[in-house]
Structure formats: C-alpha cells, structure tokens
C-alpha cells in the first residue's frame, strides 16, 4: 500500500564564520586602459554563481554593463584574500568588499574627470556606460579610457576591506549574537511511502527563502534546486554504510545520490526583505537552502505512516523495519 503525507521544516541561519572568528574579505577595483573595470578577489567559484553575482555588484556601482567587468579570482599571486567559499558568506562578505572598492574607484574617476573637464565641482556629474558627463550639458564628457590614459603608466586601483559582524557567545550562558545577518526559510514536501517496501518518493515540494535582495533571481532558483537535492540525498539516499570503521559504500556505484530523475518539481518562492548591511540588500543563501529539507521529509514520512524516524538516511530497510514494529505494537 502506498500512503501520502506532508511535512514542513524551517530554518534561521547565520551568515559567515560567526562566534567571534575573524570574517574578513578584501577586494581591488582597477580601471583598465581600455576603460573596463577589473575586480580582483580571492573568492572561489564552486558552482554557486560567485563570478556572476560579484560582477553584477561591481557593474551596478560603476554603472557599466556586466561584460565591461573583468572578474579575476582564484589566483592567489595577484588577488587579495577574500576568505573561503564557505558559511554562505561570499555574496554578503566579498560582495560588500567589492561594492566598497568599486565605490572608491568611482570617486577617484569622478575626481579626475573634474580635472580633465576643467570643472570647479563634481556636482551634476553623471557616470554611465564608461563615460563621465555633465547632466545639464551632456556634450561635456570624458571617457573612462581617456581618464585611464591620464594616469599614464600607473593604473588607477582602489582596495577596500569588509569585516563582518561576529561576536563570541558567552561560554557559560550560551547567549550572544554570533552572526549577522540571519536568513530565514521554510520547506514543505509531499511524500509517498510504499508500506510494503519502505521506499519513499517525493511527489511535490515548495521552498520559500528569504534572500534579502535578489540580485540574480535565476541563480537563486538554481541554488534552491541544488540545496533541495542535497537535503533530499542526505535524508533518503546517502548511506556510507560504515561497518567496524570501514566505509562499505565508498564509490558512486553504491553510494547513491539523487539524480535529475529523482527530483520533484520544486516550487520556489523568493522572499525579498533587503538587508541594510548587505550589498544592495543581498544575503547569502548557499547553505540555508539545504537545512530544512531533511526535517520536512522526515515530518512528511511521519504524517504518512505514523512512525518517527530519528536516523538518516531513511533507507527502505530502516523504514520498513519501523513500520513492521509499529504494526506489531497494535
């Protein structure tokens, strides 16, 4: 017999290393001779879309097209330390560092434009599409390329640092504010449990995730799908099968992970509540989108068959044993 049930899980999740650990990101913004802007950061792209998001942040500040941003990372010989691609911190931390560096560079560009255009003030100057011009007299303009040339052999570079809020919790009372900001989310799933085999299938799923401000909604949706798949795998598939200290499932032929064929359609609800300290209001959501999936699945299994599973993954063997034990207690 197949039975269906629904379950929910929710989370609040702190961005960054937390608990007083130094959480520092550095970034460099550089005006190139061709008028484009280069961003140097030590941020690692691990599939989370860091290169795209951070290029967008720089482009927004500099009022350029994204293709006019040269994003340079993953080369420690020429990039400053931006911390690890962990703790859901890169969009918030390094994004803030990039925003600050780009803003500093923009100020210097405007300052040099005032000199080149022989103006007595930067009031009324507009930066747009690799140009600086007077809004009341648009013909009075200078290009980024000409500004770069004015520095001759010296490239105009600005480096900035962003340090995230992180305080150590009281060791005795366990009180404090170890992270900032926090992100919030919820997940609901409908499962179908085969009571004769113990197999669990997810029929439907919905995720609502607070993102601060959605800089790139498509990447956010991809992150939610990826996080759901990982939470799904954690809850149902991924069994190391450790026997006397030895991992028996030590290859992908027997250590199973969800494939695209296992994934349900996930309805994604992006909740925007801009974070005042984030770059253009954005928060990081790398890890939060995984945390509520397994609890939602376990709650749905309980709703379907009335057994509370306290150990993951919920393999068919484990679940079938619990179902049989429940029937025997009647």
Q: Residue 178: helix, strand or coil by DSSP?
A: coil
- Number of Cβ within 10 Å of residue 135's Cβ equals 11
Surface-to-core class of residue 60, CB atoms within 10 Å of its CB (0-12 exposed, 13-18 middle, 19+ buried):
middle
Q: Where are the alpha helices (DSSP H) in the chain?
A: 50-62, 95-116, 144-150, 217-232, 288-291, 293-305, 316-328
Q: How far is 285 from 90, CA to CA, in rounded Å? A: 10
> CA nearest 10: which of 285, 295, 225?
295
Give the Å distances, CA to CA, from 298 to 13, 59, 301, 305: 20, 43, 5, 11
Catalytic residues: 287
d(C-alpha 247, C-alpha 240), whole Å: 6
Query: Using an 8 Å Cβ cutoff, are 304 and 5 in contact?
Result: yes
Among 285, 270, 288, 267, which Cα is nearest to 202's?
A: 267
CA separation for the pair 283, 56 (Å, rounded): 14
Instruction: Please tell me the distance from the alpha carbon of residue 236 to that of residue 238, in angstroms, as a whole number.
Output: 6
- Is 164:89 a contact under the CB 8 Å cutoff? yes
């Amino acid at each position: 017999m197949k039975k269906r049930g629904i379950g929910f899980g929710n989370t609040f999740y702190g961005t960054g290393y937390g608990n007083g650990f130094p959480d520092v990101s550095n970034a460099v913004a550089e005006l190139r001779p061709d008028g484009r802007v280069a961003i140097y950061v030590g941020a690692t792209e691990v599939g989370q879309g860091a290169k795209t998001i951070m290029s967008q942040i720089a482009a927004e500040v500099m009022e350029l097209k994204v293709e006019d941003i040269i994003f340079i990372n993953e080369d420690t010989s020429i990039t400053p330390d931006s911390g690890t691609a962990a703790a859901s911190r890169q969009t918030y931390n390094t994004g803030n560092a990039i925003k600050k560096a780009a803003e500093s560079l923009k100020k210097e560009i405007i300052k040099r434009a005032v000199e080149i255009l022989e103006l007595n003030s930067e009031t009324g100057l507009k930066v747009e599409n690799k140009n600086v011009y007077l809004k009341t007299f648009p013909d009075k303009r200078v290009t980024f390329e000409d500004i770069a040339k004015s520095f001759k052999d010296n490239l105009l570079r600005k480096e900035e640092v962003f340090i995230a809020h992180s305080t150590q919790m009281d060791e005795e009372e366990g009180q404090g504010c170890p992270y900032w900001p926090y992100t919030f989310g919820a997940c609901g799933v409908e499962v179908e449990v085969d009571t004769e085999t113990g197999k669990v299938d997810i029929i439907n799923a919905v995720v609502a995730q607070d993102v601060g401000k959605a800089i790139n909604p498509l990447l956010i949706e991809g992150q939610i799908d990826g996080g759901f798949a990982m939470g799904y795998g954690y809850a149902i598939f991924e069994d190391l099968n450790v026997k006397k200290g030895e991992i028996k499932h030590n290859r992908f032929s027997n250590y199973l992970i969800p494939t695209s064929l296992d994934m349900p359609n996930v309805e994604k609800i992006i909740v925007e509540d801009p974070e005042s300290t984030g770059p253009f209001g954005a928060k990081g959501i790398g890890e939060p989108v995984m945390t509520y999936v397994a609890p939602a699945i376990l709650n749905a299994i309980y709703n379907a068959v009335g057994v509370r599973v306290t150990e993951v993954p919920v393999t068919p063997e484990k679940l079938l044993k619990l179902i049989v034990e429940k029937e025997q207690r009647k």
